Amino acid sequence: MVQIHMGHSPPAAGRRKRKIVLIIGPTGAGKSRLSIDLATRFFKPSEIINSDKMQVYGGLDITTNKITMPERVGVPHHLLGVIDPTESVFTPSDFRKLAAQVISNVSGLPIVVGGSSSLIYSLVAKRFDPESDVFNGPDPDPVSPELRFDCCFIWMDVCLPVLNRYLSNRVDEMLDSGMFEELVEFFGSGGFDKVNRAGLGQAIGIPEFEAYMKKFPRIGDVESDEGYNEAVRRIKDNTCQLAKRQVGKILRLRDAGWDLKRIDATEAFRVAMAADSGGVKASEIWEREVVEPSVKIVEKFLKE
Ligand code: ATP
């Protein structure tokens, strides 16, 4: 266990930059699980700052896959479900300001967790131009090589065919845990009409179910409807496409020289999904191939 002693002040001229850990990676790659492992067992006290652009909004907790209260096991989480989705869109500039404020108030280790590269970039780039887009389009703007924090990036990677299989199962699990009912309530109570379409309105699950919900507004109507299956198929497809795009953006940061420490969780995922894992426990592989190397990386970073 490493006891964290860190300054409270934001970075300023002549002072050392504030140390932060960032756990990045595509949706579903195990970022939240790793953040809780690090925060509860190795680096105390730590506080988690969400950097998923849909999870910053309040509501649709299952659909946006927010970490639940029991899963947080008392670790403080910031910028999770705090923005009113009916107001104007929460921008990368908003995140740059708010997350930096949170970080300056955290007395322990700040761990930024989430896969939205636009938010991560806005937070840590030394020079950030809200007008520039460093990830999209045929001719993206250059990535700033200089960072305003002392950053330890842990890149959670899972090879895409394995991740896609996991994501497809995860959509079924989310539906089992009440995602459909949550969306019925959202559309039925006028949430869809009030929500900002350019913000939470883009969460995967909403556009895919929009036409269906208008046709069948009650849960009882769902039976034997091809439209439901089609919406689920599109959610699975769009989630896999999202993961692929997120990896592309991470590669762009890496190719620009950002020092990303890649952790390969593929085997842990493969074994967890295998019907017969030959007695090998996925949790042991997770521990050996994900947690242990991550702890070493962060320990080294904190000593530097
Ligand atoms: P982009 O520039 O494409 O918006 P980004 O880096 O800002 O990318 P991403 O995290 O890649 O942000 O999110 C892109 C899109 O993926 C979102 O607009 C949304 O449609 C979907 N998405 C992201 N996170 C979630 C989530 N937690 N739940 C549902 N949909 C999500």
The response to whether residue 270 sits with its C-beta less than 6 Å from ligand 1 reads no
Q: Go through the chain and tell me how many residues it has.
A: 304
pLDDT at 5: 58
* Strand ordering across the sheet containing 77-78: 77-78, 46-50, 109-113, 19-24, 150-157, 260-264
The span from the CA of 71 to the CA of 58, in Å, is 18
Question: How big is the CA angle at 136 (ends 133 and 139), to the nearest 5 degrees?
Answer: 85
Best residue among 24, 54, 170 to mutate for probing ligand 1's pocket (most ligand atoms within 8 Å of CB) is 54
CATH 1.10.260.40 fits 164-238, yes or no: no
User: So what's the pLDDT on residue 278?
Assistant: 58
Residue having the nearest C-alpha atom to atom 10 of ligand 1:
116
Question: Which atom belonging to ligand 1 lies closest to the Cα atom of 117?
Answer: 6
Cα-to-centroid distance, 69 and ligand 1 (Å): 22
Q: How many angstroms does the Cα of residue 224 sit away from the middle of ligand 1?
A: 31
Domain limits, CATH 3.40.50.300, in the chain: 2-159+257-303
50 lines ligand 1 (CB under 6 A): no
Q: Is 54 in the pocket of ligand 1 (CB under 6 A)?
A: yes
- For the chain, where do the domains classified as CATH 1.10.287.890 start and end? 164-238
Binding site membership of 122 for ligand 1 (Cβ less than 6 Å): no
Q: List Cα–Cα distances, 216 to 58, 172, 220, in angstroms.
A: 25, 20, 9
Residue 7: per-residue pLDDT: 47
pTM listed for this prediction: 0.93
Supply the residue whose CA is at minimum distance from atom 2 of ligand 1.
118
Domain range 2-159+257-303, CATH class: alpha beta
The rounded distance, in Å, linking the Cα atoms of 274 and 47 is: 33
Provide block-wise average pLDDT over 10 residues at a time, the chain (304 residues): 57 76 98 98 96 98 98 98 96 98 97 97 96 91 95 98 97 97 92 95 96 74 74 97 98 96 97 75 94 98 95
CB 48 less than 6 A from any atom of ligand 1 = no
Q: Which residue has tokens 């590269």?
A: 117
53 C-alpha to ligand 1 centroid (Å): 6
Largest CA distance in the chain: 66
pLDDT for 276 equals 66
Other C-beta atoms closer than 10 Å to the C-beta of 44 total 15
Global ipTM: 0.96
